[in-house]
C-alpha cells in the first residue's frame, strides 16, 4: 500500500488494533485515524485476545466486522477498489456490502488458507460448525470477488478444488521492505558473546516459537549432533512453546535459546549465523506454496537456507540458495546440516549470495506494487499502455 501511494493512488487502510504481531497505538476512541507515508490509516478498536487458538480470538473477529460495518465512512474517499486481506475471511462479507454501496471493484487477498489451516494444523474436524461456516464464506469469496490474489504461488489449485472449476488467481507474494535494506541496528556485545559465539558453525531459527513452527525436528536434530562440538543450534525469538522446549531440551549442550530482538536487529543476528532454518508440519496447506517473511529475511541475509518442508517449492529452489528436506525427517536434516558444515566457507557464501540477489531482483515492493496495480485496475492500465504505444508510434 505504501508503494501504491507512491505511485499516486490515494490509499486507505482499515485495520484492527487487536494484533499481537504489530506495534499498534493505544486507542481511547472507537476509531483512530493517522496519515502515514501518504496513506490514511484507520485503527478500529477491537476486542483483545491473548491466545491465538481461543474462542476469544473468534469473538475478536466478529467484533471487528461489526465495528467496521458501523464505522462512519463519510469522511473517507469513495473507493474505486477494495482489497479484503485475510486472515479473517469474515471481512469478505463487509467487502461485498462495500462493493455494492460504492459500485467498485473487490479483490480478495489470501495470506492464510482458511479453514484448511485449522483442519490440517489446528486439530479441528472438517465437520466443525465454525469450519463449515468459514468454508461457505471462502467459497463465496472465491466465486464472487472480482479478483483473487494469493501470496502463495499455487493457490489456484486450491481455489479450483473449492469451487469445482478453475478461475484466474494472481500471485503477489510477500516482499522486501526497503527499510530492511538499511544498515541493521547492532547487537549488544553481551548478546553476541552469550548466544552467537565465534568459531562455531551456527544453525539458527529466528522467529516465533509456537506450534505451527514445527521446531521439534530442529531440537531432535540438535540432540543428535551433540558429538559435533563445532555445530551450535540457536533459537532466536519468543512464543507459547519457548518455556516448554527450554525445559524439555535443557540437557542438550549445543542448543541455545536467545532472546527475541527488534526487527531492526534481525539482520545483525542472521549475519552471524552459518545456516538458517525454517520448518513446517506435514500438511496439505503447503501443497499451494509459501511466501513467508521469515524466508525473505533469511535470503536477504545472504546465508544458505535449509527447510524441513514438504510441499510446493518456491523461492529457495528458484534462487538456488539452499535446499528442502522432508518435513518431520530428523535424519535427513542432520545429513544436510553436516553437508553444509563440511562445505568450504567461500562456497557457502556463494550459495547464500544467490538468495540475496534473487530476492532483491524479484521481491522488492515497487515491483510488486506495479503488478498489483494491473490487478486492481486492469482496464486503466491497458488503456495507459495503449496510449503510450500510440504516442510512441506517432513520435
Q: What is the pLDDT of residues 280-318, one digit of tens each?
A: 988 899 999 988 888 999 999 999 999 999 999 989 999
pLDDT confidence of residue 182:
78
Distance in angstroms (rounded) separating the CA atoms of residues 39 and 179: 17
Residue 112 DSSP symbol = S
Q: Report CA torsion sign: 150, 152, 156, 160.
A: negative
Angle between helix 293-300 and helix 345-362 axes, rounded to 10 deg: 120
Strands in 31-36's sheet, in edge-to-edge order, are: 11-16, 39-44, 31-36
Residues across the chain? 395
3-state secondary structure of 44: strand
Contact at 8 Å (CB) between 288 and 309? no
Please list, in sequence order, all residues whose beta carbon lies within 8 angstroms of the beta carbon of residue 132, skipping any fewer than 6 positions away.
126
Beta bridge partners of 169: 148
Please list, in sequence order, all residues whose beta carbon lies within 8 angstroms of the beta carbon of residue 101, skipping any fewer than 6 positions away.
none
Beta bridge partners of 308: 279, 325
**pLDDT at residue 394 tops 50:** no
- 41-52 pLDDT, tens digit per residue, is 999 988 887 766
Average pLDDT over residues 223-232: 94
pLDDT confidence of residue 26:
81
pLDDT confidence of residue 263:
87
pLDDT confidence of residue 382:
54
- Please count the helices (runs of H) and the strands (runs of E) in the chain: 16, 13
Q: Which three cell numbers stand for residue 118?
A: 485449522
User: Grid coordinates 518435513 are at which residue?
Assistant: 327
Average pLDDT over residues 41-64: 82
Ordered domains of the chain (ranges, CATH) = 2-177+364-388 (3.40.50.2000), 179-362 (3.40.50.2000)
Contact at 8 Å (CB) between 319 and 272? no
Distance in angstroms (rounded) separating the CA atoms of residues 66 and 325: 44
**pLDDT at residue 366 tops 60:** yes
308 backbone dihedrals φ, ψ, rounded to 5°: -85, 95
- Give the number of C-alpha atoms closer than 13 A to the C-alpha of residue 28, restricted to the C-beta side: 0
Q: Which three cell numbers stand for residue 12?
A: 486507505
Distance of CA 218 to the CA centre of its chain: 21
Mean pLDDT estimate for the chain: 90
Distance in angstroms (rounded) separating the CA atoms of residues 350 and 360: 16
Of the chain, the percentage scoring pLDDT greater than 70 comes to: 94
- Is residue 211 very low, low, confident or very high in pLDDT (cuts 50, 70, 90)? confident
Distance in angstroms (rounded) separating the CA atoms of residues 126 and 119: 6
- 134-185 pLDDT, tens digit per residue, is 999 999 999 999 999 999 999 999 999 999 999 999 999 999 877 777 788 9
Residue 36: enclosing H or E segment and its boundaries? strand 31-36
pLDDT confidence of residue 21:
64
- Is residue 20 very low, low, confident or very high in pLDDT (cuts 50, 70, 90)? low
Range of lowest pLDDT (19-23, 141-145, 151-155, 206-210): 19-23
Average pLDDT over residues 268-290: 93
- Taking alpha carbons only, the member of 311, 294, 314, 312 closest to residue 303 is 294
Average pLDDT over residues 353-361: 95
pLDDT confidence of residue 395:
28
For 276, 304, 329, 330, the CA distances from 336, given in Å and listed in that order, are: 12, 11, 11, 10
Amino acid at each position: 500500500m505504501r508503494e501504491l501511494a507512491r505511485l499516486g493512488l490515494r490509499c486507505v487502510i482499515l485495520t484492527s488494533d487487536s494484533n499481537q504481531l504489530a506495534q499498534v497505538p493505544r486507542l481511547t476512541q472507537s476509531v483512530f485515524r493517522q496519515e502515514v507515508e501518504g496513506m490514511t490509516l484507520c485503527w478500529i478498536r477491537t476486542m483483545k485476545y491473548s491466545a491465538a487458538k481461543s474462542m476469544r480470538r473468534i469473538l475478536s473477529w466478529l467484533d471487528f466486522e461489526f465495528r467496521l460495518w458501523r464505522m462512519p465512512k463519510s469522511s473517507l474517499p469513495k473507493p474505486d477498489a477494495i482489497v479484503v486481506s485475510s486472515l479473517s475471511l469474515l471481512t469478505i462479507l463487509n467487502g461485498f456490502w462495500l462493493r455494492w454501496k460504492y459500485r467498485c471493484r473487490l479483490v480478495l487477498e489470501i495470506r492464510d488458507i482458511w479453514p484448511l489451516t485449522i483442519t490440517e494444523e489446528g486439530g479441528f474436524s472438517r465437520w466443525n460448525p465454525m469450519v463449515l461456516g468459514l468454508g461457505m464464506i471462502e467459497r463465496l469469496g472465491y466465486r464472487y470477488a472480482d479478483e483473487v490474489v494469493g501470496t502463495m504461488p499455487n493457490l489456484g489449485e486450491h481455489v479450483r478444488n473449492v469451487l469445482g472449476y478453475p478461475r484466474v488467481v494472481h500471485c503477489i507474494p510477500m516482499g522486501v521492505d526497503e527499510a530492511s535494506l538499511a544498515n541493521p541496528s547492532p547487537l549488544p556485545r553481551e548478546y553476541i558473546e552469550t548466544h552467537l559465539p565465534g568459531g562455531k558453525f551456527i544453525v539458527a531459527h529466528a522467529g516465533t516459537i509456537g506450534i505451527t513452527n514445527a521446531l521439534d525436528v530442529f531440537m531432535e536434530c540438535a540432540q543428535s549432533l551433540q558429538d559435533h562440538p563445532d555445530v551450535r543450534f540457536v533459537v532466536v525469538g519468543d512464543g507459547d512453546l519457548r518455556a516448554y522446549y527450554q525445559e524439555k531440551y535443557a540437557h542438550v549442550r549445543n542448543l541455545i535459546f536467545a532472546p527475541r530482538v527488534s526487527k531492526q536487529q534481525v539482520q545483525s543476528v542472521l549475519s552471524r549465523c552459518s545456516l538458517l532454518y525454517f520448518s513446517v508440519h506435514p500438511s496439505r496447506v503447503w501443497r499451494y506454496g509459501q511466501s513467508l517473511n521469515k524466508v525473505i529475511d533469511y535470503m536477504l541475509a545472504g546465508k544458505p537456507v535449509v527447510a524441513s518442508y514438504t510441499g510446493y517449492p518456491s523461492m529457495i529452489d528458484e534462487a538456488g540458495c539452499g535446499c528442502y528436506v522432508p518435513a518431520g525427517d530428523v535424519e535427513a536434516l542432520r545429513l544436510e546440516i553436516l553437508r553444509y558444515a563440511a562445505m568450504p566457507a567461500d562456497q557457502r557464501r556463494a550459495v547464500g549470495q544467490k538468495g540475496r540477489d534473487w530476492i532483491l531482483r524479484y521481491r522488492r515492493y515497487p515491483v510488486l506494487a506495479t503488478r498489483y496495480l494491473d490487478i486492481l485496475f486492469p482496464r486503466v492500465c491497458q488503456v495507459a499502455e495503449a496510449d503510450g504505444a500510440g504516442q510512441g508510434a506517432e513520435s
